Each structure stands twice: as structure tokens, then as C-alpha cells.
Structure 1
Amino acid sequence: MIRNEISKIVKSPYMWGVLLFCILINCGILCFENTEDFSSSQYKKVWQQFLSEEKNLQDEIASSKDKAEKYKQNEMTDKEKLYVRFAKELEAVSTYNDYRQRIQENAKKITLFSTFTEGGFAEKNIEKTAAHFKKMKMVKVDAEPSLGIEKMFSTVTGIVVLFFVLYLGYLLFVRENETGIAKLLYVTRFGKRKLFFAKLAAHIWGTAVAALIFYGCNFVILRERYGIGDLSRSIQSVLAYRSCGSELSVGQFLILSMIILIFIMTALAIFIDCICILGKRALISIMIFFFCIIGCVLVYVQIPMNSNLNWLKYIDPAYCLNAGDIIGKYVNINILGEPVSYPVVVMAVYFLLLLICMICGMIGFSKMKEESRKSELFNFAFMKNEKRFLKGHDSLFRYELYKVRKGGRVSMILFLFLIVSCFLSYQSHLIFNDEDEYYYYTYMKQLEGEKTIEKTNFIQKENKRFQSLKKKQQKFMEEDKVEDLMILSEDLRPVHGFEKVVERNNYINKHNLHAYVYEGGYVKLMDFSKENGILMTLGLLLLTFSLCSVFTQDYETGQKMLLQATLLGRKKMAHKKILVSIFIIVISFGIIYLPQFITFYRLYGLVGITEPVGCMGIQSGMEMPIWLWLVLGYVIRLIIMLAYSGFFLFISNKIKSAFVTLTVMSIVIIIIFFVRFSMFETL
């Protein structure tokens, strides 16, 4: 039976297409992604030059620091960052023995949880850390390139593998149920339980093979881009894994990390199987999986290191997919006040997940009834609207909308995304980037509205006051009056915020404008911030899920040939489907951006919305009213969503499979989101 289930995977042409697509996505990101300020060729060249000439380590460290300082003065950022990184790697090798000898003093630094917990855990953790490294033999470290090893277990690769594992779960547990083959399989002499374990074994096999393929590609690409050095050297030679508490070579580290990663992937594969069994259909299964991903990402992003819930962050799949950190860094986790090794906790948690999901999946599979979509929905709707359908009544639009609503679960999707959108947009109070922004906002609230002589006099008066305070500050500095300076600094705290007010006043005078408008709220609605990027990504995902059944549903249920043979014909059917899509797009647009606008209105109001855009300091289209500027911004976003929807509908009509379409487009969107998120982190 296991061999038969594996053959279903291997003989599926869509599986090979999805696998190839995922490999290309992963390899493309590894080849073109560059999170450093220097290129991989520069990094590899520097290391090759150092290793070929056998230079003295201390001399090379000093030389690299000098070069970094020289390039900094010449504003050559890429070369500066390159030699800073190179010097760090060499220095880590040079000072490793001292680092180990001082381990008892800096034990707090090398543990991630010690300083953030209450009670006796911190003390126990420090003692355990010091004792562990005291027993550990001194290892020899060698100067070799580190970046290739550090990037080996990329989180992006883990995400791509998970999507492929999800597709395997669909093939094994959902596809047969949708096509009706499950009816025959359930009545065989082997029974549902043996069939479940056969599918489970095939899924685990596919997961392990996929992980080996993807990370094998990573190994080859990173070896060519950055170099990986001698695999027999100790893992402590790698800069990021300097604090590793195990006596491992780099090769052993890669093998052990791969074993742990496959184990984690296996647990997640069984979790996916459980989702597929409970979801029964492709769309519902992917929706559940998608919201699980959102939960993991929120835990990973929102829980800080110093939180009492930080242990959740470290067992989160979004963190554990970088398997190198599990054994490459020495970490103890607080379990009931006792420090427990991080790898032990991870293995225990995912073994428990594996066991629970296996039991739940087996129970669910044994009780699962076939959910054949073959014409059940169509027959019901056809019998109910037979006369109208055959006569070409105008209700065809409503019929198409009904199919999408019932078969594609669009109402449920829109409601769930509305909850997520409200959660992301909610803001209980004003948030400022810094103290200066707060004082700038305070001044602008006093000045908002039409420009008057009183407001001009107020600005001049405040300007004179700050000039006087600055003169006093200079005098106190010359006289070394520290206490007076501290008192005066409190009065000078708003000065930088007021300087922005003066700049705005000069701008208004220069361009003959007549009103003061605080731009913070309006700009936050329209700028290219991370928050707006998340909302746009959420909007594209909403369109992906809500539109996937518009065309693919007819192919998967076998209705396509019958519908095209009716009096209405192919063209009218396509027109109605496009109208349904536009209707869904407009609703989706409101779901994504209306909660944000309501939050903005509640916090900022619409003060000055009829004033020219130039009053906010925006140069382009200065005479345009702010309300029109906002409308144009939202129209552009709507056009982007329409363009994406057109592309998505074209792809779904060509692929003809809801699951493959969802998988491909979701991978693209989520990878774009992670790349965009990493860009904001580096800015």
C-alpha cells in the first residue's frame, strides 16, 4: 500500500510542475538575494586571497580594520561592510580561547533568557551554562568563510518546502476525496486505518526527499557563492555558531541539523495531513493552513525576546525552520523554573505535536465521509434555477455568484480576512516615531487651520524663546554648570519638533499657501510603510483565496463542458464570471482598507481635508485638494488589485486546479512579503 501511495505522488504531473516551480523560486532567491551591503563575489574573493597567501591572523585583522576605516572615510559602504565582516570573522577565531576562558563571567551574554526571567531561573541558567562549557573540551577553530554555512538553513527555503509538503498532503488526502475515488478505497479489505498509515508513510517519504533536494540545492549554490570552507573544522569556527555547546565539525553539524529539520518537517507534515482531513476540501484546508501561518508569523514578530512568553517564539516553526540555530547556539529555556536545553525542548514539543496530530488524523480519517464535489452543487443549483438557466435569464450573474459563494466559501473567506484586517488596523492611541514627532504634532494641532497673524506671532515668539534658551545652554556649557544644563535640557526638549514647524511655516510662505495641516495621519494612509505593505499583501492574499474558485470550480466539478454547450455560450459565461470577480474585488478592497480609514478618522479626524496638498509639505500636485489626493491614492491601490486579479484569473483559468493555483500564487506573495519585510528591517 505504501508503494502504491508513493506512486501516486511520483506519477502526478502536477507534482513535478509544483516541485520544479518551488525549486526555481528557492534557487532564484538564494542566487539574487543579498542581505549584506557587499556582494558574494567580493566576500569569496577576500577569503580566497587570505587562504591562498597564508597571512598572519593578527596582521590581517589589523589590516582589515584599517581598510574598513579607509573605505568609510571614502564613503564606499560596500567595501567598508565587507572588511568589517571579514575582520569580525577573523577576530572571532583569534579570541575564541579567551572567549571560552571568560565564559563564567559572560554567561549572561551567551544565554538568551537569563536576564529576562524571574525567580531562580537566571541564576540556575548561568550556573548550568558555566558548568557545561567547563566540562566541554577546548576545540580548535580555523579561519574559514562563515556566511555560506550561516545561510544554509534559510527560513525562506523552509517556507517553500512547507508549501510543497502541503501540496503532497492535498494529493494524498484531499484530491481522492474530491474526485470520488475515496469511495472505492474505503471499502477495500485493508480498511481506512491501514490506508491512513500508508498515506502517512508516503507523505513522510515525500517530505524527507523534498527537504534533501531543496537543502542540497542550497549547499551547492552557497558553496559557489560564498564558499563553505573545510567541513572537518569545528562548528565554533563559524561566526554565528561561536557559542555552540557541542563538539561538532561543520559536516557533522550540517548532518545533525538536517536530521532535526526533517523531524520538524515530518511533524508539520502530519499536522498538515490533520488539516487536510478536517478541511476535506482544498480551499478550506489551505485557509486553515494560511491562518496557522499568520499565527506563527505574529508570534515570531510580535513576541519580544524579553517577554515571559519568549519560549513560544523559540518553538515557533517560523523560528525552528532555521535548524542551524537549534544546535548551533547554546540556549536554555525556562521550563517550570528549570533551564532545559533548547534542542531537547524542540524535539519534545514537535514529537508531542506529531503524536497528537497522528491520533487526531487517524480518528478523523476513520470517520471521514467522502466529499465529492462532482456536480452535487451544480445539480442542486441547476434543478432550482433550471428554467431561468436554460432561457438565459438575467439571474445568471446571481447564479455565478451563488456558485462562488457556496462552492468557493467566499463569504467565510471575506469574514475571516475582515477580522484579520481589523486586527492589523486597530490602534487605540496615537503612535509617534520619536519624541520630536510628538512635539511637532502638538505644535501643529495648535496651528491647524487657516494661517493668521496670531499664529505667525506665536511661531516668532516661540522661535525667540528657543534661541534664548540655546544661548543659555552655550553659556552653561562654557561654565561647566551640569545641574543647570540638566534643568535647561527639559525646556529644550521640544526644540527639534518646533524646528520642523518653522520649516513648514517657511514652506507655506514661500509657496503662498494659506493653511497649516498636520500631515502625519494622511501620509500614514498613503505612504510605502511596512504597515501599508502588510495590508497590500493581505489584500492580494484575500483576492487569491476569494477568486480561486471563479474558473477552477467548473473544471474540477466537470461542469465546464456542460456549461459551454448551453444557449448562453462561453462568452456570456466568461462575462458573468468577470462581473462576479469585479464585485468580489470591490468588497475585498473595502475589507482591507475601510478598517484602516476608520481608525485614522477616529485618531486624526479629517482636519484640513479640503486644503491643498501643498499645505502638508508635498510638492507634487500642490494645488490638488487633500481629499482628491487620498481618492487618487486609493484608486491606484484598487487598480493594482484589479491588475493582480486579472493576472490571477488568467493563471487559474490556464492551470484549471484551485490547489495548484493557490499554492503557486501564495508562495509568490508570501516570499514577496518576506523580502519586503527584510528590506524594512535593514532600512
Structure 2
Amino acid sequence: MYRLTCFELDKVWRKRSFLLSVAVLLAINIFLLWYTNLPNNETPPLSAYKAVEKDLQHLSEAEKKSFIEDLYEDSKGVMLVNDILNMQNSATDMGKELGKKTMAENPGVFEKYYKTFTSGKYLKYTDSLEQEMSLIKEIYEESEKVSSYGKYLKDIKDRKKTLESVSVFQAADQNSFSARNITKEAADYQDLSAIKTEFYPSKGLTSAVSAQATDLLLLLLLFLFAGTLIYEEKEKKLFLITRVTPAGREKSIIAKLTALLIQCFAMTFLFYGVNVIFFSASAGVGNLLRSLQSVAPYMGSDLQISLLAYLLLTVVTKAILLFSLGAFLVFIAIIGKQSFLPYLAGTGLLAISSLLYLFVPASSSVNWLKYLNPIGLLQTDTIYGGYLNFNLFGYPLSRLLTSWVILGLYAAYSCFLAVKAFLTSRSLEISKLRLPTLRSFHPHVNLCRHEGYKIFIMNRALLILLTFAILFGYQHLSKTYTLTPAETYYQNIMTELSGDLTEEKTSLIEQERKRYEEAFAKIKSIDEMVAKGKISMEEGENIKSPYYSETAFYPSFQRVLQQYDYVVDSGGKFVYDTGYLLIFGLSQSSRSPDLILFTVCIIFAFSALFSMEYRDKSWNLLAATRRGKRDIYKSKLLLAMAATTAVFASGWVCQIIQVARSCPLREITSSTMALAQLREMKLDMPLAVLLLLMALLQILSLFAVLMVTVCLSDRLKNHIQTLSVSVLLLIVPLILNEMGLTFGKWVSLLPLYDCVNSVLINHGLAINAGYLAAAAVLLAGGILTLRKSASK
């Protein structure tokens, strides 16, 4: 029996295609974990949670609570200053009056946090005020919830006492489900008063456990493994031989199911282990030996276990459920004659489960339909991290206990069906289903059209390219660039100054300068009065409050003065530079997310560019002459480059459109020297030329990615192998860089793709030229390699 089980595992695990599939799915899993947790205007990055965890690491629980409360108060104060300045910068009198009213309703707050706001030192963990406020508010609410765990237990006891003390309720409804549920709840939580909580942000742990993408990928892997257990022997008609042997029936199916069980446990531990490692490195998971109730979303659990035990329970539960589904797929594969039937049946079962989970209300009397179907059982965070009792004819029945029983029944019944079908089924071969074709294929006379049809239609690259083009467009067009009050002021004055210097513009700048000088002089005189004791500190702050509002945008005006000094000295033009800085990547996060998406698009669209001909053994016909083969290679490469350029252009144009909506791009023919950040490059050229140059370098880096992919496709001659190796070489370093392991950046093409930022921030023009040379070498080497292959 042991040898049979090992044989069944070995039959699948030794296949290179299966191992590469696991590697690809793992890489996709990491990519989706990263992509679904990308920050936006209000969502903080994962690194922010990691930084908070680091600050809390050596504090006691009382110190943690005090630290978080101080952070929350400070963030609220800074946000109030931001709101007041926004109102005072309003073009309407109503907005200005509302600003004064808000300041009066919060006395002293504006004065206290004004300097902090103008200095920008309030951004401790993120890059924007909205992200900072969102992060601190989330952590504050979690901290308050965890710290009040004792009160939570007391409320449960009080509900029971209230139930017992109200005699009218006892007489009328003591046998109702509500009364019994309250009594059972109090009994279940009775022994939890000794639990000690230890607070850390919950983002990392909850994200690692509740990753729906991971569950989906595990289901895909299950479909692949379960079908292989049966269909390989059906295709080769081996069942006609093996079933007549002594171990050909009972022991064979038991070995197959045992192998399936091992596979489910191994893959679940592998994928969720990767999840925990990823979020531990990027967001932090805290001390895994602390109690389950230390995590705010799981505070309602009545289990006295650690987080490590919770993770083990989660993985075991998911593995058993996957085994149950896998045994059902094996049953369908045994009785079915077509290879697609298990996939169809499995998809149908999961679709029905999803509909039940989505549309059955959690508070209904039949909520067991929601929580006890396969999709509901996959949500282990609600099973072990929450508390719920089902209404069974007026008696409360624990969801946790019921879930375990149902899970066991699923596994037992699926195994029973698979074993019985294997022992009695006579469907021992596969029948191919032939569908009528609506239209036959007519080869194109033009070679490029013919190759384009094969690549984009037959190989479905067009679907992938359109999907990513829409994704890029949506990603950039849905991104909002929130202007702070200071930026709004800067935009208003710079759009008015835009262009050549005139007497009117000089007069405007001098008036603004004079206004600020008068306000600062008033503040200085009030400070002198306070120092001499003529007025109190509190009175002084109240008098200075209007002047604080007057000088709030002085840092932005200093940016105007920098441009004014440059224009006077060099005779250049005023340029509102914020939009250009956004496009050049100097005022936002790394361009790594864009490069990762483009790389994924190229790999999935073109990893079969040459291997598709080896798969179908078409080269025997297509390569009848050397020139014919060279022309095919040339056509394929040109089509792939054109498609890559089109997808890049879609994202690039959408980005420029969205930036221009918030930050107008004027004076595009002005010199790059007009932008203070770009003067360090010492490149005097029109902004339009630099934009075009940046786009060309980005396209060049994408062509280098494409060349690596297609050369691997030509050399490995296998789609899955090309996909796997390309992901490992081109995507993994970028994801490692996003996780904080910056060495990944230097073994990728990111410095070239983020060329302007690389020149200014990293190591100057020389390093960027080195990456440009590396990309050129990749392109030239790839072309020479393909020419050599085409000449064989």
C-alpha cells in the first residue's frame, strides 16, 4: 500500500510540467498578494504597518495604548488644520466662514498643529496625509477594541444576568432560541477571563489567512492533480490491465485517495506558508504565540489558542476541504468519459456554493446554507475567529462544531463515492467530444497576417493584451491626484504666472512677497509682546491665529520664488511643474508596479511565441527553406514588439490624461532647466523631448523583457517551462524589491524603466547608461540568437 501511494505521488510529482505549474502558481500567488495590497490615495502601503509594528515591539500594553492614542490625536489635529486651510483657500465666502467656524469650535487645535502641518513632519509612516490618517485610525480602532476585551467579556455576562433577572422575559421566552443562545454564549466565554491580549496591527495576519487568490490557485492545482490521477491511465487504457491484478481495485483507489490527501496537505502548507512569510516581511504579523483574541477581528472567538495554533487549524481545515473536493472530482473522472467533466462539475459546485455564500443572509434562519457549503468552510477566519450558533429547532448549535462534523461528512461521502465508482465503473476509456465547427480556417496569403492570426487568435494573446490594456487604462484613469491646500495655492499662482516674465507678473510676485513679510512681521511683534509679558502666551496664540492662516502657504510661495530667481537669471519661462514631476516619477512611489504588470503581460502573451511551433511540430513544414524560417522569425518578433508598444502606449496616454486633469501640463516646449529637480541632470532640452526620451527608454526596457521571453521560448521549446523561467528571472526580483529587499532592483531593468528617477536619486547618469547598455546587449544578443536559430 505504501509503495502504491508513493507511485501515485511520483507519477505526478516527477513531471516537470507539474512542478513548473506549482512554481508558476506560487509566483502568481505572490504577485496577486502584492498587487491586491498596493496603496492608493487612502490605503496605506504594507510597509507602513511593518513600521508601526516595529515601534510597538518593545512597549508594554499600557505604553502601546498611550502611544497609539497620541498618534491618533496628532493625526486628527493635523487633519483639522488641513481642512481649515482648504476652507480658507476656498473661492467662496461661505467656505471661508465655515473655516472660521470650524476653528472656533476647536479652540487651540489649529495653533497647536499649524507648525507641524507646514513642516510636513506629521508623515511618519506614509507619503500622504490621507494615507497617514487612514492607517492611524485603523490601528487606533483595533487597539481600542483589543484593550477592551475585559469589558467585552463583562457585557456577555451582563446579558445573561439581565436575562435571569427579568422574570417577565423568563416566563414568556425562556425557551426561545434567543434566551438559550445568550445562556450558551455566557457558558462558552466563562473560562476566557484569564486570557491576556498583546496588541499588534492585524493587517499582516488577517491578509495572510484570508487571501482568496490563494484559495483559488489551490483549487486550480487541485483540478490539475485530481484529473491526472485518473485520466492518464484512462488515456493509455491501463485500467483494462491493472484492474484485473490483486491490488488493481481496492488498494489502487485507496492509494490514489491517500496520494490526493498528501498532495492537498503539502500544497496548502506550502502556499499558506508563503503567504505568512510574504506578509511577515512586508506588513508584519507580530508574535505568533500570543492569544487569538489579541487580533481585533478575531476577538469574538471562544477558543483558547495561540495564533500559531490558529494558523495550523486554518491550514488543516482548508486541506481537508480541498481533499473532499478532490475526491469528488476523482469520482466524476471515474464515471465520466470526457476529460472536461470534472472541471465542469467542480466549477458548477463552486459556483452554487458561491451564490449561497453571497446571497443567503447571515441573520436568516437558514444561514447554515451560507456557512456550511464548501465556499463558506473555506472562510476559516469566520469559523475560528468568530462566534456563531445556528438555530436548530430553537436550540443553539455551535457553528464551529457543526463545521467540523460537516467537513468530516463531506470527506467521508466523497471518498465513498470515489471508491464505489472505481470498484464498479465500466467507463475505463476517454471518448473525445467532437463539436461542429461554424467556420473553417483559411490560411492567409500575407505572412504577417497569418502569424498574427496564430499568435493573437489561436494562441489567445489578443485576449491577454486587451485585458492588460484595459487594466492599465483603468489603473491610471481611476487614480486621483489629491491636491493639498498648499498645492492648490501653488497651482493657482503658477498657472497665472505661466510663460514669459512680464511687468504684471513681477508686480504680482512682489505683492505676495510684501503680504508675507507683513504677516511675519506681525507674528514677530506679537512674540516680542509675549516675551516682555505684555500679553499672555494664550492671548498671543489667539492673536497670531489669523496670521498663521495668512502665512500657511509660504513654503509654496518659496517654490514660486525659486522659479522667479531662475527666470530672472536665465531668461527662461515660468512652468507649473507638479504634473511633469508626477509623469517623470519624481513625486510618487516607484514605477515598479507598472513594470511588473507590463512584464506579466509580455510573459503570458508571448511565452509561447516560438514554442507553439515546436508543440505542434509545425517547424517540419514551416522551415522548408532557410529564408522561410527567417521570415517567420522576423514576422513573429515584429508583431510582438508592435503589440508591446501598443499596450505600453495605452497606459502611458491614460497616465498623461489623468495627470493633466489635476495638474495642467503647460509650456511643454520650455527647457527642462525650468524644473528645479531636473537641473541636477544638466540636460538642457525641451520638456517634450525629455518626455519622449523617457517613453523610448521605457519601451526599450520592455523590448529587453520581450527578448528574454521569446529567446527562452525558442530555446526551451516548451510553453510552461518558458513561463516559469521567465517569471523567476524577470518578475521575482521586482517583487523582492517591493518587499524591501532592494538588491532585487539591481538585477532587474527597473533602473532603466524608471530612468529619470534613477539619474537623479540613485547613482547618476553613469549607472543609467550602464543599464541602457545592458538592455541594448540583451536586444542585440536576442536578435543574434534568433537569427542563428532561424538559419538552422
TM-score in terms of structure 2 length: 0.51
1:101 is aligned to: 150
Q: Indicate whether 1:555 and 2:614 are aligned.
A: yes
1:413 is aligned to: 464
1:431 is aligned to: 481
- Name the amino acid aligned to 2:17: Y
2:507 is aligned to: 457
Alpha-carbon separation, structure 2, partners of 1:257 and 1:578: 47
Distance 1:146 1:431, change over 3 A: closer
- What pairs up with 1:372-451 in 2 under 5 angstroms? 380=441, 384=443, 395-426=446-477, 431-451=481-501
Query: 1:365-391: CA deviations, max 9, x gaps?
Result: xx997589xxx99x955xx46xx6xxx
Post-superposition offset of 1:522:
1.6
State the SS of the aligned residue for 2:607: helix
Alpha-carbon separation, structure 2, partners of 1:234 and 1:418: 46
Query: Retained in 1: the 8 A contact 2:288–2:306?
Result: no
Query: Retained in 2: the 8 A contact 1:332–1:341?
Result: yes
Q: Which runs of 5+ in 1 are unaligned?
A: 48-56, 65-76, 78-94, 108-123, 191-197, 293-316, 334-339, 355-366, 389-394
Query: Retained in 1: the 8 A contact 2:145–2:296?
Result: no
- What pairs up with 1:477-556 in 2 under 5 angstroms? 480=539, 485-509=544-568, 512-527=570-585, 529-530=588-589, 532-556=591-615
2:709 is aligned to: 648
Query: Retained in 2: the 8 A contact 1:152–1:218?
Result: no
Which residue of 250, 253, 256 corresponds with 2:313?
256
- Name the amino acid aligned to 1:465: R
Query: 1:22-77: CA deviations, max 9, x gaps?
Result: 7799999x9xx99856999x999x99xxxxxxxxx99999xx9xxxxxxxxxxxx9
Post-superposition offset of 1:462:
0.6
Distance 1:257 1:133, change over 3 A: farther
Query: 1:599-626: CA deviations, max 9, x gaps?
Result: 4455555411110112122211352110
- Name the amino acid aligned to 1:647: V
**Which structure's CA Rg is the greater one?**
2
State the SS of the aligned residue for 2:608: helix
Alpha-carbon separation, structure 2, partners of 1:470 and 1:341: 68
Q: Indicate whether 1:623 and 2:684 are aligned.
A: yes
- Name the amino acid aligned to 1:13: R
Query: Retained in 2: the 8 A contact 1:517–1:616?
Result: yes
Query: Retained in 1: the 8 A contact 2:153–2:193?
Result: no
State the SS of the aligned residue for 2:690: helix
Alpha-carbon separation, structure 1, partners of 2:740 and 2:279: 21
State the SS of the aligned residue for 2:152: coil
Alpha-carbon separation, structure 1, partners of 2:9 and 2:287: 37
Query: 1:203-238: CA deviations, max 9, x gaps?
Result: 776343311345568899999xx999997x854578
Post-superposition offset of 1:553:
1.4
Query: 1:461-495: CA deviations, max 9, x gaps?
Result: 11211222234445398571676555555544433
Post-superposition offset of 1:446:
1.1
Alpha-carbon separation, structure 1, partners of 2:328 and 2:705: 31
Q: Indicate whether 1:135 and 2:189 are aligned.
A: yes
Distance 1:489 1:411, change over 3 A: same
Post-superposition offset of 1:513:
4.5
State the SS of the aligned residue for 1:259: helix
Alpha-carbon separation, structure 1, partners of 2:402 and 2:563: 56
Post-superposition offset of 1:420:
2.0
- Name the amino acid aligned to 1:166: L
Post-superposition offset of 1:175:
13
- What pairs up with 1:335-374 in 2 under 5 angstroms? 370=433
Post-superposition offset of 1:627:
0.6
Post-superposition offset of 1:400:
1.8
Distance 1:248 1:603, change over 3 A: closer
Q: How many residues are treated as equivalent by the alignment?
A: 540
Q: Indicate whether 1:166 and 2:220 are aligned.
A: yes
Alpha-carbon separation, structure 2, partners of 1:170 and 1:407: 23
1:581 is aligned to: 640
Distance 1:253 1:411, change over 3 A: closer
Q: Indicate whether 1:633 and 2:691 are aligned.
A: no
- Name the amino acid aligned to 1:542: C
Alpha-carbon separation, structure 2, partners of 1:464 and 1:602: 32
Which residue of 15, 19, 32 corresponds with 1:16?
19
- Name the amino acid aligned to 1:12: K
State the SS of the aligned residue for 1:515: coil
- Name the amino acid aligned to 2:575: V
1:120 is aligned to: none
Q: What is the aligned-residue identity percentage?
A: 19
- Name the amino acid aligned to 2:462: S
Once superposed, what is the RMSD of the aligned Cα atoms?
6.7
Q: Indicate whether 1:211 and 2:265 are aligned.
A: no
Post-superposition offset of 1:629:
0.9
- Name the amino acid aligned to 1:631: L
State the SS of the aligned residue for 1:450: coil
Distance 1:19 1:508, change over 3 A: same
Query: 1:549-595: CA deviations, max 9, x gaps?
Result: 31121122231333334454644433332222222222222233222
Deviates more, 1:622-631 or 1:467-476: 467-476
Query: Retained in 2: the 8 A contact 1:153–1:322?
Result: no
Alpha-carbon separation, structure 2, partners of 1:572 and 1:97: 68
Post-superposition offset of 1:258:
1.5
Distance 1:330 1:513, change over 3 A: farther
Alpha-carbon separation, structure 2, partners of 1:640 and 1:601: 25
